[in-house]
Amino acid sequence: MIKMYGIFKHFQDNEVLKEINMEVANREIVAVLGPSGSGKSTLLRCINGLEEISSGRMDVNGIMVDAAAPKKTRQKNVQAIRLQTGMVFQQFNLYPHKTVIDNVIEALITVKKTPKEKAVQKGETLLKRVGLMDKRNVYPSRLSGGQQQRVAIARALAMEPAIMLFDEPTSALDPELVGEVLSVMRELANEGMTMMIVTHEMKFAREVADRILFMADGRIVEDAAPAQFFSSPQSERAKKFLHQVMDN
Ligand SMILES: Nc1ncnc2c1ncn2[C@@H]1O[C@H](COP(=O)(O)OP(=O)(O)OP(=O)(O)O)[C@@H](O)[C@H]1O
């Protein structure tokens, strides 16, 4: 569960998030849409503590981060949130000198101190789940972009996060490789994972998401069910955005 109360985020004098209030329930799939520069990535990065919020407070799975709290308290809580949230980026950032299985279990061993044998077992289960058990011992450079992204998803899942955050997970992929990554995400959604997904894949957002958050200029301008958002967007910004993406 994610709750944000009056969140602002600025970089110097650039206010990137403006009074964000929103909730994501457990098992909910929320797609975050909006034009370039509207603050979608920053929203996700604030949730998992890659960026510090400038003001406001948020509750991620029961862990509260208040911008007004002492720095030490904030840092401790952000650390705890990191363990609850798995993040998958546009760039997969796998360790090039580690095999696929070692990439997947790295954080289990270094952060969670899981014994190697147990970590390997878990890693193998996850590789089967993303359909890459046969690539267990190869290096990332031998994989396609879609396969690398599936490894990155397995790596995030290895930490057993309560929430998965996806930041344009298919944007760096050749079009023919997008489907294999979306299908892993579809499965996760069906299994009841709580997910926030920044995406340009409108068909996926429409079919898989429970809710659409549409952002423009750092604000959540619309918060609606996909059927409603896509058929009758309320704001001029959303109408214009949909015209542009549907034309492409
Ligand atoms: N680390 C940073 N330092 C300074 N400015 C930043 C930083 N990160 C993001 N910004 C600025 O914040 C604004 C929102 O960026 P953000 O990446 O969140 O938008 P976005 O909606 O995800 O865009 P896109 O769809 O192009 O990825 C932009 O003006 C960007 O330049």
- pLDDT tens readout for residues 22-79: 999 999 999 999 999 999 999 999 999 999 999 999 999 999 999 999 999 999 999 9
Element (H, E) at 98: none
User: What is the reported pTM?
Assistant: 0.96
Q: What are the structural domains of the chain?
A: 2-89+163-247 (3.40.50.300)
Say if the ipTM goes beyond 0.90: yes
Nearest CA to ligand 1 atom 13: 37
In tens, the pLDDT along 112-131 reads 999 999 999 999 999 999 99
Q: Which residue has the tokens 């955050």?
A: 165
Ligand 1 test: best mutation among 10, 15, 38, 220, most atoms within 8 Å of CB? 38
User: Which residues line ligand 1 at a C-beta cut-off of 6 Å?
Assistant: 11, 14, 16, 34, 36-42
- CA of residue 183 to ligand 1 center, whole Å: 28
- Ligand 1: residue whose CA is nearest its atom 17: 41
CA–CA separation, 35 vs 20, rounded Å? 17
Closest residue to atom 5 of ligand 1, CA basis: 11
* Contact of 27 with 194, CB cutoff 8 Å: yes
Of 27, 81, 38, the residue nearest 58 (C-alpha): 81
Residue type, 54: S
Which atom of ligand 1 has the smallest separation from the CA of 34?
21
From the CA of 37, how far away is ligand 1's center (Å)? Answer: 5
> Which residue's CA lies nearest to atom 30 of ligand 1?
37
Q: Are 204 and 230 in contact (CB under 8 A)?
A: no
